[in-house]
């Protein structure tokens, strides 16, 4: 069972012309007479002719498709980014091939091999939390594959990057907690190696210092799997509360972790924000409906996807290599709700 479309050859045969003439007529070449052009166009229109993109790809050595690798599409932040990516890509006639790493390095390597073998023209990627070795990306980049990083970027590879101002986002959230009277603010972060965690940690620490709140390293914890693994999150939280001097607020470093921590606190019957306040990064549309309504740091995910795609297409469509790469930093927004109410 196959789906057969009309080809340029069919038109040529039907009209008693050569394929070259038909091709040129459709591309409005000056070498073709007006009558022939009209004839061909009318026939093509009538039979709903569409050039075969695969044949074009083969000839032009470009597939007009871009690969996207994220950890999880069932995560508001990333699905909003993908919406941004698609909004640009479709307008520009590009195809988007999405794959998920599920935060696994192994899966990321497989995805990349797959995408490379599908001859994508460029790659948009937010690396998995497990990824500490970047050879798979370097090798593709060295071979000339245009890459743009977003959110979780790789500093060692020189290309465009689009990131959130993690440091300022974390700073604002922490300051907000301090100003609301919280003193022992824990920071549960994603994988320590990650670029993101480092930025968020620095903002957190700076906020404490600026407000003369002592930094307690025991209040800083990491989840290698970024909350995907609830058991891991539970272990870290247990450890946090096993200490003598317990935290009075938690600042969570990712969407999944924010929800996981909320689940943890509720399961332990802790009152939020009376016993413990909670602020976290989250792009959930429904943070206001939670119990309690959650104070979140919201990221401009859609814009991030748009910007990254624009940059990628610029590289793909550049005539000559341009090594003048940019790093775009987008601001985040603190949305204050019940979970961080004044003590």
- Interface residues toward DNA, by CB under 7 A: 7-9, 16-21, 23-24, 26-27, 30-36, 49-52, 55-56, 58-59, 61
> Is position 263 an interface residue for a copy of itself (rule: CB under 8 A)?
yes
Residue of the chain from 84, 146, 199, 280 that contacts a copy of itself (CB under 8 A)? 146
How far are the Cα atoms of 10, 49, 52, 204 from residue 4, in angstroms, in the given order?
Answer: 12, 11, 11, 59
Task: Give the shortest CB-4-to-a copy of itself separation in angstroms.
Answer: 7
Residue 269, binding choice from DNA, a copy of itself, none, Cβ under 5 to 8 Å by partner class: none
Residue 26 binds which of a copy of itself, DNA, none (CB < 5-8 A, kind-dependent): DNA
239 Cβ contact partners less than 8 Å away, ≥ 6 residues apart: 221
Cα–Cα dist 169/251, whole Å = 11
Q: Taking CB within 5 to 8 Å according to partner kind, which of a copy of itself, DNA, none is near residue 106?
A: none
* Using rule CB under 8 A, residue 235 touches a copy of itself: no
User: How many whole angstroms separate alpha carbon 337 and alpha carbon 297?
Assistant: 11
Q: Which residues contact 50 (CB under 8 A, 6 or more apart)?
A: 5
Closer residue to DNA, CB minimum distance, 24 or 200:
24
| Binding of residue 104 to a copy of itself (CB under 8 A) | no
Q: In which element (H, E) is residue 173 found?
A: helix 166-179
Q: Is 119 in the site for a copy of itself (CB under 8 A)?
A: yes
Tokens 């979970």 belong to 339
CB crowding 275-305: b at 16 or more within 10 Å, else e: ebbbbbbbbbeebeebebbbbbbbbbbbbbb
**Mask for 274-313, x = binds a copy of itself (CB under 8 A):** ----------xxx-xxxxxx--------------------
- Write down the least CB distance from residue 45 to DNA, Å: 14
Q: Which does 335 bind (CB under 5 to 8 A by kind): a copy of itself, DNA, none?
A: none
Q: From the list a copy of itself, DNA, none, pick the one residue 200 interacts with, judged by a Cβ distance below 5 to 8 Å according to partner type.
A: none
Distance CA 319, CA 339 (A): 52
Which of 73, 148, 169, 165 minimizes the C-alpha distance to 306? 148
Q: Does 316 bind a copy of itself (CB under 8 A)?
A: yes
CB atoms within 10 A of CB 166: 26
| Residue 239 within binding range of a copy of itself, rule CB under 8 A | no
Phi first, then psi: give them for residue 92, nearest 5 degrees: -95, 10
Contact in structure between 149 and 128 (CB atoms under 8 Å):
no
As measured in angstroms, the least distance from the Cβ of 266 to a copy of itself is 7
Residue 79: contacted member of DNA, a copy of itself, none (CB under 5 to 8 Å, by partner type): a copy of itself
Binding site for a copy of itself (CB under 8 A): 1-5, 50, 52-55, 57-58, 61-63, 73-74, 76, 79-80, 82-83, 86, 90, 95-100, 114, 116-119, 121, 140, 143-146, 259, 262-263, 266, 284-286, 288-293, 315-316, 318, 320-321
């Amino acid at each position: 069972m196959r789906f057969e479309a009309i080809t340029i050859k069919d038109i040529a045969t039907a009209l008693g012309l050569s394929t070259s003439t038909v091709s040129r007529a459709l591309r409005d070449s000056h070498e073709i007479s007006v009558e022939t052009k009209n004839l061909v166009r009318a026939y093509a229109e009538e039979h709903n002719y569409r050039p075969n993109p695969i044949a074009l790809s083969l000839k032009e050595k470009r597939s007009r498709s871009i690969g996207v690798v994220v950890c999880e599409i069932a995560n508001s932040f990333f699905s909003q980014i993908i919406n941004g990516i698609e909004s640009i890509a479709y307008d520009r006639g590009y195809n988007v091939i999405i794959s998920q790493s599920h935060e696994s390095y192994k899966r990321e390597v497989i995805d990349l091999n797959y995408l490379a073998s599908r001859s994508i023209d460029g790659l948009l990627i937010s690396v998995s939390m497990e990824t500490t070795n970047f050879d798979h990306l370097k090798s593709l980049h060295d071979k000339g594959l245009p890459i743009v990083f977003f959110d979780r970027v790789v500093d060692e590879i020189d290309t465009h990057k689009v990131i959130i101002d993690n440091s300022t986002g974390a700073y604002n959230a922490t300051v907000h907690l301090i100003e609301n009277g919280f003193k022992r603010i824990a920071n549960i972060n994603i994988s320590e190696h990650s670029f993101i965690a480092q930025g968020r940690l620095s903002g957190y620490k700076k906020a404490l210092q600026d407000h003369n709140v002592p930094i307690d390293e025991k209040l800083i914890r990491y989840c290698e799997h970024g909350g995907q693994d609830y058991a891991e999150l539970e272990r870290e939280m247990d450890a946090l509360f096993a200490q003598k001097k317990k935290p009075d607020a938690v600042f969570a470093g990712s969407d999944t972790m924010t929800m996981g921590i909320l689940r943890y606190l509720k399961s332990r019957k802790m009152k939020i924000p009376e016993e413990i306040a909670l602020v976290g990064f989250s792009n959930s549309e429904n943070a206001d409906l939670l119990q309690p309504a959650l104070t979140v740091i919201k990221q401009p995910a859609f814009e991030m996807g748009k910007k990254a795609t624009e940059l990628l297409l610029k590289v793909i469509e550049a005539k000559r290599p341009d090594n003048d790469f940019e790093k775009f930093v987008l601001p985040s927004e603190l949305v204050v709700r019940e979970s961080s109410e004044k003590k």
